[in-house]
Amino acid sequence: MESPLILITGGGRGIGAAIAEAFAKRGGCRLALTARSADQLTATAHACEKHGVEARGYPCDVSDPEAVKAMAEAVRTAQGEPDTVINNAGYFLAKPFLKLSTEEFDTVLAANLRSAFLVSQSFTPAMAARKSGTIINIASSASRKIFPGMAAYSAAKYGLLGMTRVMRQELLMDGVRVLCVLPGPTLTNAWDDSGLDDATLRERLMPASDVAQAVVNAWELPAKTVVDEIWLQPLGGDI
């Protein structure tokens, strides 16, 4: 029997790459990774292959319907239907509400929310038909807490949490598990242009590997059990 195929969006770096490597270290799976950067996908895939798992990259803008359709066909042709889809792709923009442009607002929603909608719709029908599968949406503590200066990002992540809850209810009788992971401040490249230069504050950020381990732990539960939501926070609180 072929090992399960796990598709991870935003798999080139940050939390997505950490999730891919955590599954690779666990073993017993195959990986399909998507991101815009082919170079980053190649680097992540090579790191995963060192642990003895099959890992392939599929460059794709997952906010683009046609690009997602092409990516889905490429994955099916090369590796088959995914058993698990992890919607991790996103874009962080910190900007006050009154200074946001329409284009910036749309870009953030497309990267964080529409991408999960498009990718899930591409692969969920096959899961429902075989009565098994898992969808994991990576949201944020900004899905539940108010952070001034993050209007677009909060709107997208609140929306992702809401969509996840609806998906869970609609798909539970089809045997598809749907869960949401809500990480608080995590040390990734997203902070590079944030102005957070204080080494002490950066030390308080959660490692991406901790978020990845939580995802793997939730995924490993028996198929009849689902953790609806996991909210992760740094031990010292928000930054």
Q: Tell me which residues are annotated as active site.
A: 153
Tell whether the torsion through CA atoms of 88, 136, 171 and 168 is positive or negative.
negative
Please give the Cα distance from 23 to 47 (Å, whole number): 11
Contact 232, 211 (CB under 8 A): yes
Catalogue the E-assigned strands of the chain.
5-9, 30-35, 54-59, 84-87, 133-138, 176-183, 186-187, 206-207, 229-232
**Close Cβ partners of 104 (under 8 Å, ≥ 6 residues apart):** 93, 95, 152
Alpha carbon separation from 214 to 26, 97, 113, 199, 218 (Å, rounded): 13, 32, 21, 25, 6
Please give the Cα distance from 194 to 189 (Å, whole number): 10
Please give the Cα distance from 87 to 197 (Å, whole number): 29
